[in-house]
Structure 1
């Protein structure tokens, strides 16, 4: 790995005092010399990033209301390619590919009105915003990654090489950022100063051509160094990447440690795993940090030991489809297969994976989300080709409830669950659907 010079950046410091109630989240406090207390930024409770959490497991802890109903819809003006994210205040962040007007919107949970929207440069459409507990987003565009206030003002800018991939929190007030050209940055969220020296994983990273290799990212091709968001183990301080080394015949899973060495944070390779045929989609790391999951081009779901990258098991899943999954802390997995494929539950038994149940009668049209309530939410295609949001039992796959998505066609990019149990989905053709408790709708 070669290190390049530090990019320059415009700096703005933002002060915030926010009281946050966060389930399963500990806010780190640092005492300042003047006796004041600084609250360090962390991932927002709820659906704060691509994959729902740092590990890309698309798992939701909040309880979804029994009286869930469609509250509002909002068109974006263009296709949605990346999953929506939802803040601790239930504000919905959505990016889209639009010919003009805004291509990044932040929508309020009451009626889907615009809190604000921005016209960003190319690259924004492949990202999901990262949101901290102050409702402050972190998202970028070609050549630039930006930190924002909750009101949509720019706090700071950081020049990057290529296009940013959806970012993750790596430590309190530290964001892990990768780019399509293989650049790795750890940034302090207050002012974008470096938390560790920059690393470039590929020698062909081109600061003068931001879109170099970008066309390969959709298919995880060889010219795209990092096509998908990292999975981050916050406790172990390790990130797992879908990475295509320059000149290699296939992509690999690469583990990067970013903890301190001799008192200073440093990014360094922990291991890499060459998967037959290479991998597609993002890696995911289990809640206990012991297992890394990835989909191979050869139609296998691969489980690796997080410690050293050795293979634990492979499961012949067939078409990897969207090459993503949802996983519970106890090892129940729903892979996202091809569009229109069945809904299946697997169980990680440690040395193998076994199928628990399969709903061959369903035609899935979305990444699923497993919940702490023992259910899964997904979007299915009905007989009339319209889409519907469905809840099924994680135990046996039986349908528990079905909520129509009026006039929705095609597929959705995922199912996001807010801290209050509200649900947001975005259709690829460009519409956001927001579900809330009937008791809250219209208040």
Structure 2
């Protein structure tokens, strides 16, 4: 599958939208008129970004039903390769990749009704709109990041050098942007204006080709300097990501810290080598903020100290996930799945199934990682979600035909991996682009063909 972007001619559209967004912001102001309903001004207490929220922990902020079933489904008419985010106010947001028509949709959680939709030059290896506690969106686009109000109005556009991969609220005023070229900077959430200078985390890369290395971001190979969204500790303003400086023999794990003030400052706190390599999946932050977890190319899960980047432990899981693990309340990590929505290059010969993808649980104990259970009978198709009551939601291959295998959602017990409930999603076929859980325990499953299924 080719990288998820609108054709290059969309660059002109992006610039036109940027000018239009600035004009709208100046004319109408930047404050949403949406009733907050007691919502947080910062990151939504729901599934607010690619991997659940700033820590990339795949953690839902609610429990789910013991026997979730289909509430509604709808087709959006175009492929999707991102997770549906939610605002904690009853709305899901789903992006698609299309040549024409709307490609960002606001859907009511109760019945799937379209609140609004927009045509935007979206871009990135995982297209998910980051949402705050008032329903305002921050969307990765061709050449930058756009802000959209809760009513679907363009607010502002901030240029980036390269494709945005990290779009995360640090607090009510600051938004962290990191591109696939490793260029990090902080902007003001209300205006899009710079709140820090740029910091190149993968060395100085000539700006002649802003798409440099983008085809390799899904797999995290050498050609992509910074492939996955950073895990962010909002308490300390520190972000953790993998970066591969062009020409270097191996990638690095990098910690970058933001110091607010009249002149905000971004600086590298530490760097540590990753000689075993890494994948394009996001880095994941532990519950106590003391460890970050990274998947490597050899099929192992690694832990590093957030204090100084020192390696802590490594545990084999037996395969190479395409999506990040989810973190249960007790700190157990549940491995992610394999999906053909990640483009792995012209030499990758894979069908609708990307190979074995069991569900494996690893628990950090006594300074090491210990496998506590695994489900080799399941073929996980996307990211898992961990619930507040210690369960795991996964989408797996089930039934169907060889040409069009089906999809089931399993609710697993986090203690032993046993299936609590299994639901075959009707008419769901092909690859899965994402799974998320909102603050009411509703499960959103998005397939790569652009169908959204809501279970509750």
Give the shorter-chain TM-score range: 0.7 to 0.9
1:155 aligns with 2:175: no
1:421 aligns with 2:441: yes
Give the Cα–Cα distance (whole angstroms) in 1 for the partners of residues 116 and 246 of structure 2: 40
- Please report how far the alpha carbon of residue 266 of structure 1 lies from its aligned counterpart in structure 2 after TM superposition: 0.9
Summarize the Cα distance change of 1:424–1:122 in structure 2 as closer, same or farther, 3 Å threshold.
closer
Q: Secondary structure at the match of 1:215?
A: helix
Contact 2:43–2:171 under 8 Å retained in 1: no
Candidates 362, 372, 380, aligned match of 1:346 = 362
Q: Secondary structure at the match of 1:59?
A: coil
Contact 2:406–2:428 under 8 Å retained in 1: yes
Q: Which moved more, 1:209-218 or 1:55-64?
A: 209-218
Q: 1:271 matched to which residue of 2?
A: 270
Contact 1:182–1:225 under 8 Å retained in 2: yes
Q: 2:314 matched to which residue of 1?
A: 314
1:399 aligns with 2:416: no
**Superposed CA offset, 1:171-226 (max 9, x none):** 22211111112221211111112222222334554545332222221222333222
Contact 1:103–1:124 under 8 Å retained in 2: no
Q: 2:393 matched to which residue of 1?
A: 377
**Superposed CA offset, 1:203-256 (max 9, x none):** 554545332222221222333222111100011210011211122122221110
Q: 1:181 matched to which residue of 2?
A: 181
Q: 1:410 matched to which residue of 2?
A: 430
**Superposed CA offset, 1:97-143 (max 9, x none):** 22332222221223322222222225156321110111010012121
How many equivalent pairs are there? 412
Contact 1:241–1:254 under 8 Å retained in 2: yes
Mapping of 1:1-80 within 5 angstroms?
Answer: 10=22, 12=26, 13-16=29-32, 18-21=35-38, 27=40, 41-66=41-66, 68-80=68-80
Contact 2:78–2:96 under 8 Å retained in 1: yes
**Superposed CA offset, 1:69-112 (max 9, x none):** 21111223333222221111231111222233222222122332
1:242 aligns with 2:239: no
Give the Cα–Cα distance (whole angstroms) in 1 for the partners of residues 202 and 254 of structure 2: 13
Contact 1:299–1:316 under 8 Å retained in 2: yes
Contact 1:295–1:302 under 8 Å retained in 2: yes
**Superposed CA offset, 1:14-59 (max 9, x none):** 124643435xxxx5xxxxxxxxxxxxx3111210111101100001
Q: 1:299 matched to which residue of 2?
A: 299
Give the Cα–Cα distance (whole angstroms) in 2 for the partners of residues 92 and 16 of structure 1: 18
Contact 1:304–1:310 under 8 Å retained in 2: yes
Contact 1:319–1:337 under 8 Å retained in 2: no
Q: 1:441 matched to which residue of 2?
A: none
Q: 1:118 matched to which residue of 2?
A: 118
Summarize the Cα distance change of 1:314–1:125 in structure 2 as closer, same or farther, 3 Å threshold.
closer
Summarize the Cα distance change of 1:306–1:329 in structure 2 as closer, same or farther, 3 Å threshold.
farther
Q: Which runs of 5+ in 2 are unaligned?
A: 1-14, 339-353
Give the Cα–Cα distance (whole angstroms) in 2 for the partners of residues 78 and 412 of structure 1: 14
Q: Secondary structure at the match of 1:298?
A: coil
Q: Which runs of 5+ in 1 are unaligned?
A: 1-6, 28-40, 437-443
Q: 2:326 matched to which residue of 1?
A: 326
Q: 1:357 matched to which residue of 2?
A: 373
Summarize the Cα distance change of 1:341–1:223 in structure 2 as closer, same or farther, 3 Å threshold.
closer
Mapping of 1:184-223 within 5 angstroms?
Answer: 184-207=184-207, 209-223=209-223
Q: Secondary structure at the match of 1:293?
A: strand
Give the Cα–Cα distance (whole angstroms) in 1 for the partners of residues 158 and 207 of structure 2: 13
Q: Secondary structure at the match of 2:283?
A: strand
Summarize the Cα distance change of 1:67–1:277 in structure 2 as closer, same or farther, 3 Å threshold.
closer
Give the Cα–Cα distance (whole angstroms) in 2 for the partners of residues 127 and 48 of structure 1: 13
Give the Cα–Cα distance (whole angstroms) in 2 for the partners of residues 173 and 405 of structure 1: 40
Contact 2:361–2:372 under 8 Å retained in 1: yes
**Superposed CA offset, 1:287-322 (max 9, x none):** 211000001112211100110000000112232221
Give the Cα–Cα distance (whole angstroms) in 1 for the partners of residues 323 and 110 of structure 2: 33
- Please report how far the alpha carbon of residue 267 of structure 1 lies from its aligned counterpart in structure 2 after TM superposition: 0.6
